[in-house]
């Protein structure tokens, strides 16, 4: 899908669902990482993450466009356009727009090496990302001596 096709789709959705014209620009922005789209207050552009088109169907794309158009139309009307505003929540409901998009970035697993320590008295285990000097610390439960396990 090109930027021109996206522009036409946004204009059509705006007229069909909101019954108001979309008079600004809609573009793809590949620098967006975790969000499906955004509405820019400064220039009234709507930017869409191109990964939405690659990963999901057109229904998800339309949902993201409707969500951003809610921000757009409410902001231009001077009403509450932020996620927590009542006007925004009502418009989301009346247009059947999603509150959030599906995840776009895979969650990174924490691959840092964990250091495991154990209390010699009560057996309580402690996991740490950084090494610690066992001679400076005691168990928080029984004040027993701590040793490094792994």
Domain positions in the chain are 3-95, 115-148
Which residue out of 11, 47, 60, 68 is catalytically annotated? 68
Average pLDDT across the chain, whole number = 92
pLDDT in tens, 31-78: 998 899 999 999 999 999 999 999 999 999 999 999 999 999 999 999
Per the listing, tokens 């995840």 go with 103
Task: Measure the CA–CA gap between 121 and 105, rounded to whole angstroms.
Answer: 44
Task: Measure the CA–CA gap between 135 and 147, rounded to whole angstroms.
Answer: 9
The pLDDT score that the predictor gives to residue 114 is: 86
Burial of 27 by CB count in 10 Å (0-12 exposed, 13-18 middle, 19+ buried)? middle
What superfamily in CATH does domain 3-95 come from?
A: Metalloproteases ("zincins"), catalytic domain (3.30.2010.10)
Under DSSP, the state recorded for 145 is B
150 catalytic residue (yes or no): no
Task: Measure the CA–CA gap between 43 and 64, rounded to whole angstroms.
Answer: 19
């Amino acid at each position: 899908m090109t930027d021109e096709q996206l522009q036409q789709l946004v204009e059509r959705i705006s007229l069909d669902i909101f019954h108001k014209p979309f008079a600004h620009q809609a573009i793809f922005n590949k620098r967006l990482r975790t969000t499906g789209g955004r509405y820019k207050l400064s220039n009234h552009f709507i930017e869409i993450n191109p990964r939405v088109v690659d990963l999901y169907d057109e229904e998800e794309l339309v949902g993201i466009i409707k969500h951003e158009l809610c921000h757009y139309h409410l902001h231009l009307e001077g009403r509450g356009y932020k996620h927590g505003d009542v006007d925004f929540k009502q418009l989301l409901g009346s247009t059947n727009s999603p509150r959030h998009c599906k995840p776009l970035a895979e969650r990174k697993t924490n691959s840092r090496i964990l250091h495991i320590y154990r209390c010699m008295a009560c057996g309580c285990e402690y996991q740490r990302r950084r090494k610690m000097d066992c001679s400076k610390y005691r168990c928080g439960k029984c004040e027993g001596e701590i040793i490094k396990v792994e």
